[in-house]
Amino acid sequence: MATGPAAPATEQVSPPDSRETVGNITTFVSGMTKFHNNPDLSDIVLRVGPNVYYAHKFALARSSDVFHTMLAGQLWADSKKSEIVLKESSACEEVFTEFLKYFYCGQVTLEIDTAVPLLLLGDKYNVESIRTECEKFMRRKVQGGNARAAVMYMHYARMYGFEELEEKCFDAISRNFASAVAMPEWLELDVQYVGELLQCTTLIVENEFAVFKAMQDWVLAEYREAQAGENLIRLLPHVRFSQMLPQQLVNVERSAIGQKFPLLLSPFINEAYRFRSLAGQVGGFHDNKFLPRDYTAKEWCTFLRLQLSDIRRFQHNVRTISLDSPVPNEVHSEDYMWNIAFQLNYIGKRFRSGLGSNATLHKYECLAIKLTPLKICPRDRSFEISLLVYDRDVNVAQIIRRSATVKATQATHRESYAIQAATGFRFGMPSFGQQDSVTVEQFFEENELGPDSPYVKESAINVAVIIKPHVE
């Protein structure tokens, strides 16, 4: 009797819980690492500058499509060679062994000086993971306040479109300008970056003369001196000569630039003298170049050391003279005496998470700085207030900026020495009518101001208060 074709054997499928994935990735990677720059089984030699590296086509092609095309492409003559010469810059030559190691172990060791050449190699050979790790490393270093790293990385941040890194570089340099311009890398910056930094309104610097000196060092660098005149034409308009004190203006005239390029410098010096003569009488100087930056010299800034035990227990008053500016910026510019009061308070804020009524309590310490003028304001006055919080090494760690207006106030006819109703501060002056106060606050996470805090040294924090006139 004829029979049909035999039925196919039923495939035996193991139940999911009977299968296991076994093996040790660490062991696998360590096994690959031993072939780094090892002639054993090597099928390609890379000559980079004076150095020779033994490599394996598979390892190179696995992570780099550039190497894959170079070593396996039929149209590339190098694909048939057993030795390839790679032309790299001297900086890239120095890190090439670290770059090659990545193809065997998937890791690369980064330092401030090696991040850029490794980034360049990662870009040239299209190893995206190295590019990504280099950018992350650069951001971490710059965010930590390393001024040297910020100056080194700024050009490459813009070249590769790393916008966040570029922003952090500008911020780090503006906070640590004195440290940044003392680095040899400052002299290597392109003129466009120097110009942008000199224009920066958020620059924290001792005074404007320090800005001029940094610009002069850059312009007169030995390998750039032939273009000094051209660069001065671009950069001099960004120096705020109007904010220099008289002796500083004289020092500018006596400087190397003043002696070598008097015709280029004189219009700016003359404008500064004109400003000093007229600003307090007729006003009208409202351009940024006629306004101060955040200067930390004693003429502009009040530097204070606050014991945490004091400001946590009660309001700590500091009676101080804080000038609008040692340079008159507007008509009726006056000196103001301010009462500055500091207090540190715990604040709890509840945040809802998920559904329902569940809420999480987050605790903060709020550093509140209250500024009250101790002098009658005959007219409304606008101010720019900057609060700088320093770390243990007295580098600027936090910046709080705020615009405020103190409203015009009329004094009462009654003169008595008493507690001022508006502020609660007692001082030996007549009792005035209602006075505006300005409060600036900075929040710290709970325990952020503990013994291991980056802001606390010897149970105290260092802050600076800068009060500047604001001109519309």
Tens digits of residue pLDDT in 340-379: 888 888 776 655 555 555 666 677 888 888 888 776 666 7
Residue 59 lies in a domain: yes
Q: Alpha helices, DSSP H only, in 188-261? A: 191-199, 208-219, 228-235, 246-254, 256-260
Is there a single domain that holds both residue 30 and residue 94? Answer: yes
Rounded percentage of the chain residues whose pLDDT exceeds 70:
76
- Residue 416 located in a structural domain: no
314 and 271 in one domain?
A: no
**Residue 365 has what pLDDT?**
85
Identify the band that residue 414 occupies on the pLDDT scale cut at 50, 70 and 90: very low
Highest mean pLDDT among 129-138, 290-299, 421-430: 129-138
Place of tokens 């004094």: 411
Is residue 339 included in any domain, yes or no? yes
Domain that holds residue 126: 26-143
Cα-based distances in Å from 223 to 24, 217, 218, 220, 227: 55, 12, 10, 8, 9
| pLDDT tens digits for range 421-438 | 333 333 333 333 445 678
Query: Confidence band (pLDDT; 50, 70, 90) for 413?
Result: very low
202 with 277, same domain? yes
Q: Domain boundary residue among 114, 143, 172? A: 143
Residue 154 in any domain: the answer is no
The enclosing domain of 277 has a CATH number of 1.25.40
Tell me whether residue 202 is in a domain: yes
Q: Mean pLDDT over all residues of the chain? A: 82
233 and 380 share one domain: no
**Is residue 228 domain-shared with residue 376, that is, in the same domain?**
no
The answer to whether residue 170 sits within a structural domain is: no
> What values do phi and psi take at 14, rounded to 5?
-75, 140
- Examine the pLDDT at 132 and tell me if it is beyond 80: yes
For residues 71 and 129, state if they share a domain: yes
Residue 405: what pLDDT?
A: 78
If one compares 279 and 126, the residue with the highest pLDDT of the two is: 126
Residues 118 and 42 in one domain: yes
Residue in the structure block whose two tokens are 């890190």: 95
For residue 344, the domain's CATH number is: 2.60.210.10
404, 438 Cβ separation under 8 angstroms: yes
83 Cα distance to chain centroid: 45
Among 277, 292, 307, identify where a domain stops.
292
The pairing of strands 51-55 and 359-373 is unpaired
Q: Are residues 136 and 36 in the same domain?
A: yes
Assess if residue 414 is contained within a domain.
no
Question: Which tokens in the block code for residue 33?
Answer: 């690492």
Relative orientation angle of helices 147-159 and 163-175, to the nearest 10 degrees: 150
Query: Is 88 within the bounds of a domain?
Result: yes
CATH code at position 95: 3.30.710.10
Q: CA 236, CA 259: separation in Å to the nearest integer?
A: 15
94-108: string of b/e by CB count within 10 Å (b at 16+)?
Answer: bbbebbbbbbbeeeb
Residues 378 and 460 occupy one common structural domain: yes
- pTM for the complete prediction? 0.80
Please check whether residue 117 is in contact with residue 94, taking contact to mean a CB–CB distance below 8 angstroms: yes
CA-wise closest residue to 444 among 312, 352, 339: 312
Same domain, yes or no, for 326 and 399?
A: yes
Last residue of a domain, one of 292, 321, 338: 292
Residues 209 and 306 in one domain: no
In this structure, are 330 and 385 located in the same domain? yes
- Based on the structure, what is the number of domains in the chain? 3
* DSSP state at residue 413: S
